[in-house]
Structures are given as C-alpha cells and as structure tokens.
A and B are shown apart, each in its own frame.
Chain A
Amino acid sequence: MSAASVWRVHVPSDTAAASVGADEVAEAVARWTASHSGSGLALHRNGSRGAAWLEPLLEIDTPKGRLGFAQLSSADVPALLDQLSVELGRSDTPGLAHARCIGLVDEHPWFRMQQRLMFARAGRIDPLSIDEYRDTGGLAGLQRALQFDQSGIVQEVIDSGLRGRGGAAFPTGIKWRTVQQAAAASKYVVCNADEGDSGTFADRLLMEADPFRLIEGMVIAGLAVGAQQGYVYLRSEYPRTIRTFDAALQAARNAGLLGPRVLDSPHAFDIELRVGAGAYICGEETALLESLEGRRGQVRSKPPLPAIAGLFGCPTIINNVLTLAAVPDVLAQGAAHYAGFGVDRSRGTMPFQLAGNVAQGGLVELPFGITLRELIETFAGGTRSGRALRAVQVGGPLGAYLPSSQWDTPLGYEHFAGIGAMLGHGGIVLFDDTVNLGAMAQFAMEFCAIESCGKCTPCRIGSTRGVEVIQKLRRGENLRANWDLLGELCETMEFGSLCAMGGLTPLPVRSIMTHFTADLLAPSPADSRADAVASPDLVAEEVA
C-alpha cells in the first residue's frame, strides 16, 4: 500500500458502545497502530449508529464502503488488524472472512431497512469535527434559514407538520409562532434533554453522535423567534453525553456557529449547558424551567404557556432534543420533503428505540405508520432470553403495556391514543413471558411516588395509595373492593393532576388491569400467563 492512503478504523465513543467495551477496543487499536507504524491504519472515534446489539462495532474504510466487525472485544483486535493490514492492498473487502465481520455496514439489513433522516449522520462522523459535519450536509439548513425572515422560518416548520418529539406531540411551528409573535426584550430557546423515560436513548445517542445537528436546530429556532440565548438541560445520568456536548459547544463557538455573529451573519446566539440533578419530573417543561431558574423542579400551572411567559418570565421555545434536531432537515430539504414522510397527522420520521428484553436492540428510524408488530418482527430479532414475547411497553414509564392483540396498531400519535396508549418519546420495551405485570403495575405507582414533585395531592398521595392497593390485590385481599378502589384512584390521578406525571401514571396501570388482569390478582400464577385474559367478568368471577 502506498504511504499516502490511510485507512480509518472507526470505534464508537458512545455510552452504550462503551458500556460493553468500546473504549477498550479503541485502546487496543491505538496500541496496535502505535506498534505498527506504516501500517496505513489509523484510529478514528465516531459516534454510534445506534445498533446497540452490534456494539462494540468496529468499522474500517474500504474502497467499497465501511466494513463492520460486530461485538468485538479488545482481545480480538490485534489478530483482526494483523489480518486487515495484510489484506488491505490486495482486496476491496479485507477481512470479509473474519468471524465477526457483518459485511458492508450500509448494506446490513438492520440499517438498510431503516429510513434515516435525523440519524443519517450518526456513527459516520467524528461527533466533534465540524468539518466532517459540514462535509456531510451539516449547516445547509441554517444557511437556508439565514435567507428567510422570522415568519418564513416559522412557516417552513409549520408546513413540515413537525410535532414535538418529547411525547406531547404539540405542533412545533405553532409553538414557535406564538413565541415569535410575542413582544419581549428577551426570548429564550430551551432544549429539553432530560430524557428520563426508561426505554429511550435517542436524545443521548444524537447528542453523542451528531451534536452539531442539535446546535444547528437551536440556532435556527433562535433566528425564527429572535432569541439570542439557548439552554440545554441535560440529565446528570448521562456523564459521557455531558462531556461530549460540552466539547461540541466549544467547537461550535470556535467555528463561529455560536457567538455574536452566527456564521458571519448579524445574528447572535449562544447556548449554555445545564446539568439536571436526578429528578425525572424535570423532563416536564415547566418543572424544567423552575429547575433552570434554581428552584425545586415543581410543575407550574398553565396558563401562562411557556411560549408566552417561560424562562425568567420571557417567551420561550422549549422543545425536545429530537424536535430541534429535526429542524435542520426541514429547512435544508424544505417543508414538503419532510412532510412527505409519515401517516395522517404524524409527519416525518420517528426514531423508535427497541429496548428491554430484545435480541437486536437499538435505534430504528422509520416514517410513522409501520405497525408495532412489523417493527418488532423486522428489527427486534425476538427476545434476548429466547423466550416468547408477552408484553410491550411503548412510550416510557407512563406508557401502556400492550398485549399481542394490540401490536397491529400503526405507530402514529393518533393511532396510539385511539387504543388508550401513547407513543411518547418512541421507547419500546419488550418483556418475555417470565414478566409479572402485577409487579410492573406496582412499580409504575412506586416510580410515581419516588419522582412526584409533590405539588398535586392526587399524584403525591395517590401514587403511594396506588402501591398499597396493588399490593393488596396481588396478595388476594378483598379483591372486589380494592379493584374498584384502584379504578377510582386512577381516575382521580388522571383528572386531578396538573401534569403528565400524575395524569398518565394510570395509563400503564389501566392497561395491565384491562389486558393482564390475572397478573394483578394473584402473585405470578404460572398458569395465568396468557394474553388477553382480562375481562370484567373474570374479575367478577374471581371476587364473587
């Protein structure tokens, strides 16, 4: 091989990849290249593509594209690199015969069957290289936004049909228009990166793999409404993400993407990173604002909406990471292109996250509209335990547990609302047939009790009462009375709580009451683990 060609060996620097040994793999690559000068191989840290099940996924540049080596350990590295360095000059696809080789990564079915917009760049670039970001289409959205006036940007976002990806699915452009039209000396753009829902990791993945996309989206939001200051509220449970994003902010300032003259335009915009402190409720937008202002993360009453009186009482755009990260594509490709994806009023793509007891877990970005069953059958590869799949929780800890009879529901906001469930942030947690859903219903209430901000009585007291009542049901005590009490308690929480925490905790509980009744009424009877045993008649019989 000529001395001029350098073949990059990509090893992800992401939390999930590192959690199963990617840093050790990278160290092994660095040690090997240090002792083989002239090999033509050089270590390059990329973000993760989100195929958690393939991690650590090492990729190497070849003339045909990137070749992947999956689930690699540091012990595998020296022999692999020995082999690659010998074959590099002779073959277009060196190492293809290696036991861990998964072929060309772009052609791997798990990636090929996705339609990636937001995560198109994830795993391909060094997340902290603004040059690599620009070379792969980055900043095109901002460049186009700079040619519009405020209303023009807002109109593009409205026309795209983009809705809030944090869970509430409010139309993003409408929120922006409210902030844009509010008269105020100061306005703010706040990014909600308090991704607390179990089963979700898309925000984290994006911020570690493609952080400039989020920064670009926030700058565009600032332009759209005339805000000069942004805040990212990032949870403390993501220590590696904090380091990566902090470094990305610094790189963005150095490159003139942030600062007094954004990309040499007359517009100023900067972003401050704030770290949460372990309170789930701060993912609720008004609690987040309280926390940013230095107080306990207690939910505010609405109105006023944050768009009118948000951070420090000023008009504030507050959007989830994925919402803001979708904006550069909307501006770069145009609203019609983005709106061309999806189904009904769910436009664009959604990063679904396959999690829990799953063989092939990770991030799957697809247009809305695929059914849950298709998604699972195409991508999940069954449960990790190899046992039968029994229940799927969609939408985080406040989402419903779905039995197989509901898996044919298309993944869209209204479609899920129609079956008493919600899409939320796109987390999909699989459970095999060993799960006791009575225990999960109890945990839903326990979690609410731990994380309630305490402002509303139905949430603060109701969650503790919920735990007690479910415990009684699971012990078989006074079933009829406690069953009815649990139903009433759920209703009180739904209608009497200010925010989604108390209001939606009944969602998983009710789904278990309806579809997995037997699990609630007895402590894990092995013979009751069939789907759809639920019916009021059954309860009536059991309690008669």
Chain B
Amino acid sequence: MTHPASTFASAVQDGDELAVLHELFATFPSRAEYLLPLLHQVQARVGFVSHAATRAIAAHFNLSRAEVHGVVTFYHDFRDAPVGDTVVQLCMAEACRAVGCVDLEAHLAARRGAPLGEVIPKQRWHAEATYCLGNCALGPSLRIGETVYGRVTPERLDALLATHLGANTPGANAPSADTRNGGSAS
C-alpha cells in the first residue's frame, strides 16, 4: 500500500483552504487513522488548521468537532491560527543546553522582540523551541523549514536568518546594534 500523501499531486493552489480540503478528502480514505496524515497536509499547504477546516474534517471522518479539535491542539506540529511563512525552531533539549542553547534562545528572542513561541501578529516568521532535532553531537541545533543546522553560534544564527528571510530582515522589530554585538560577544 502506498502512502496517499507520497503520491499526492496537487491541482489546486496552496493556501486556498476549501479547495485544498476538497482535494485531500478525495485522496484520503475517511478512516480516522488518516486524520494525522491529512492534518499534516493541511498544515503544510494552508499553514494552519482553521476552525472551519476542523468542522469539515470532522464531517469527512465522521468524528465530532471536539475530537478533531482535540487532536489539533494535542500535537505541537498543528496550529489553529497562522504564525507566519517561515518557522524557526531552536532545539532546547538537554544535549543542546550542554553547549549553550539558552544563550542562543536569548539572542533569537532579541532578534524577534518576543519570547520563543509567542506569535507576533502579521509577522512573516515565527520562532519556537523544539525538543531534539537528533543532531545532538553537533549542537546547538536549529531548524528552518525543512533544513537542520548544527554548531549554531549567534553569528551563524544571524546569517541563517538573513539567508532564509531576506537581507533586510528580522521582522517587525529590527534589532539594535547593541543586540547584535551583545549576541556575538557572548
């Protein structure tokens, strides 16, 4: 049996929630075991799982809205509101703590002007903690989109943000020169 998601060829534009949902409903069997694979697709293509989507998905699987909402809110990967196009995840687990990810967390929060995990409305990018990217001998580790980076220093973090977000980046709250110098000195 082939995983439906791996053979999935899209005919509709990502982001058009209703069209994406209808396409997915035609692809995934309506058995509840396909709820997570479907939610991953919705998340990847729309960016979040809206309340309207929850209602439609519940109907497709013959589940209650509460059950689908329960699943969406249980798993860290699924979001019920948009957070921005680019998600930056900093590993905050033990092996990365042993090599200074707590300092990087402060640096990243300063670049964003908000603590990790806090959603900044209309921000283009989001930053949050994750717990283990499986790169524990080469920490601190960072994930941007589908790519994992190792041995991340504040300088490398700044360079990666510039690469992924564009030159004149980090977001609404441009960091002061002090922040940058403070980060690189630590």
Contact = CB atoms under 8 A, between A and B. Distances in A.
B138 interface: yes
B138 A16 contact: yes
Given A198-B96, A279-B75, A297-B74, A361 B6 contact: no
* Shortest Cβ-Cβ A-B pairs, 5 listed: A361-B137, A198-B93, A19-B150, A356-B98, A278-B76
B135 interface: yes
Given A237-B134, A278-B76, A292-B33, A199 B94 contact: yes
A272 B3 contact: yes
Contacts of B150: 16, 19-20
Given A239-B146, A294-B71, A429-B94, A55 B134 contact: no
Nearest to B142: A19
A429 B138 contact: no
Contacts of B151: 19-20
B137 A246 contact: no
B34 A198 contact: no
B74 A238 contact: no
Contacts, number: 171
Interface in B11-36: 31-36
A410 interface: no
Contact of A429 (B40, B74, B136): B136
Given A19-B141, A200-B136, A277 B94 contact: no
B138 A19 contact: yes
Interface stretch (B108-116, B125-133, B164-172, B173-181): B125-133
B37 interface: yes
Contact of A280 (B32, B98, B131, B135): B131
A240 interface: yes
Contacts of B95: 198-199, 355-356, 427, 429
A292 B35 CA distance: 9
Q: Tell me which of A198, A278, A291, A427 has the highest count of chain B C-beta atoms within 10 A of its own C-beta.
A: A198
A196 interface: yes
A354 interface: yes
Interface of A: 15-16, 18-20, 52-53, 55, 195-201, 203-204, 229, 236-241, 246, 250, 270, 272-280, 291-297, 312, 353-358, 361-362, 384-385, 393, 396-397, 427, 429-432, 435, 440, 443, 447, 450-451, 453
Contacts of A276: 75, 77
Given A280-B131, A357-B99, A393 B75 contact: no
Contacts of B34: 294
A463 to B, nearest CB: 14
Contacts of A432: 98
A277 B40 contact: yes
A440 B92 CA distance: 11
A385 B132 CA distance: 21
14 contacts: A18-B147, A19-B138, A195-B134, A197-B132, A200-B136, A237-B134, A272-B1, A274-B37, A277-B36, A296-B74, A353-B136, A356-B98, A356-B139, A431-B98
A443 B75 contact: no
Given A196-B131, A241-B134, A291-B36, 8 more contacts: A16-B138, A19-B135, A19-B138, A52-B138, A195-B134, A200-B132, A238-B134, A274-B37
Contacts of A250: 6
A358 B137 contact: yes
B30 to A, nearest CB: 11
Contacts of A270: 1
Given A200-B134, A361-B136, A19 B1 contact: no
Nearest to A359: B137
Contacts of A229: 1
Given A20-B151, A201-B135, A201-B137, A429 B36 contact: no
Contacts of A295: 32, 35, 67, 71
B136 A246 contact: no
B156 to A, nearest CB: 10
B51 interface: no
Contacts of B35: 294-295
A38 B130 CA distance: 47
A197 B131 CA distance: 8
A385 B99 CA distance: 8
B137 A52 contact: yes
A236 B131 contact: no
Interface string B83-118: 000000001011111110000000000000000000
A263 to B, nearest CB: 19
B75 A277 contact: yes
B39 interface: yes
A385 B138 CA distance: 13
Given A200-B136, A277-B77, A19 B32 contact: no
Contact of B94 (A241, A275, A294, A393): A393
B77 A236 contact: yes
Nearest to B130: A237
Nearest to A15: B148
Contact of B93 (A236, A246, A397): A397
Contact of A384 (B1, B39, B91, B99): B99
A361 B135 CA distance: 10
Contact of A293 (B33, B78, B93, B141): B33
A238 to B, nearest CB: 6
A92 to B, nearest CB: 32
Nearest to B4: A272
Q: Tell me which of B1, B98, B99, B131 has the highest count of chain A C-beta atoms within 10 A of its own C-beta.
A: B98
Given A19-B150, A201-B134, A355-B95, A279 B32 contact: no
Contacts of A294: 31-36, 61, 71
A521 to B, nearest CB: 20
Nearest to A55: B138
Q: Tell me which of A19, A52, A273 has the highest count of chain B C-beta atoms within 10 A of its own C-beta.
A: A19
Given A237-B143, A239-B146, A277-B75, A204 B134 contact: yes
Nearest to A273: B3
Contacts of B40: 236, 275, 277
